[in-house]
Chain A
Amino acid sequence: DQQVKQNSPSLSVQEGRISILNCDYTNSMFDYFLWYKKYPAEGPTFLISISSIKDKNEDGRFTVFLNKSAKHLSLHIVPSQPGDSAVYFCAASYTGTASKLTFGTGTRLQVTL
């Protein structure tokens, strides 16, 4: 049972435009959400996170939005750059489980020139 879902396996966006990556979850106990970026032949690297007490968190070009009622979060990248081309994983956890992340299946973002 996939508790964290990324329904779009891939996304192509033109450089300078907005990239929107989506993630849905089913476990209402999740209270912390993260996005990781992964380049080929490297481990995932942390990008941005959001606690369930917030509905938005911004860090430079990256913004994560959380809609708890819909159990949905999204990552916005504005403006998109070619270096953003990577696989993006959504992940979730809940209080007291610091070492356990539940990951989505990932979305491959391609930013074209």
Chain B
Amino acid sequence: EAQVTQNPRYLITVTGKKLTVTCSQNMNHEYMSWYRQDPGLGLRQIYYSMNVEVTDKGDVPEGYKVSRKEKRNFPLILESPSPNQTSLYFCASTSGTSGSETDTQYFGPGTRLTVL
């Protein structure tokens, strides 16, 4: 079954304690992204990756890091989380090829993060 998985699904942490949210896809997609969803703001892209070792900033990258060492995995790293990073996070992947119209993005189930 084609899917995007995220772990953990729920996380409560404290300010400044480094954390990593993992994301994995089994569709051999080149493109992967991270989004955060906040009330009244919809989904906003944090970072995206076009392939292994190729990443770039989205609309709201401050306070986040990513890495893409393998095609299937795209972890989101919060080196020093702050309360304003409390949000619902989604990982997504797509088979869209560069220069063509966007292909369907498949989303993971979400990670609800609370930073106290």
Q: What is A's interface to B at a CB cutoff of 8 Å?
A: 4, 6, 31-32, 34, 36, 41-46, 49, 51, 89, 91, 93, 95-106
What count of chain B residues pass the 8 Å CB interface test? 34
**B42 near A104: Cβ-Cβ < 8 Å:** yes
Residue of B nearest to A53 (CB): B101
A98 and B42 in contact, given A45-B107, A46-B105 (Cβ under 8 angstroms): no
**A42 near B110: Cβ-Cβ < 8 Å:** yes
Q: What is B's interface to A at a CB cutoff of 8 Å?
A: 4, 31-33, 35, 40-45, 48-50, 58-59, 90, 92, 94, 96-110
**A99 near B99: Cβ-Cβ < 8 Å:** no
CB within 8 Å: A-B pair count? 79
**The one of B4, B44, B106 that contacts A103, using a Cβ cutoff of 8 Å:** B44
Among A49, A96, A101, A102, the one with the most B-chain Cβ atoms within 10 Å of its Cβ is: A101
User: SS class of chain A's interface: helix, strand, loop or mixed?
Assistant: loop
Closest beta carbon of chain B to A91's beta carbon, Å: 8
**B107 near A99: Cβ-Cβ < 8 Å:** no
A44 and B107 in contact, given A34-B102, A93-B102, A104-B42 (Cβ under 8 angstroms): yes
User: Which residues in A have their C-beta under 8 angstroms from that of B31?
Assistant: 98-99
Residue of A nearest to B109 (CB): A43
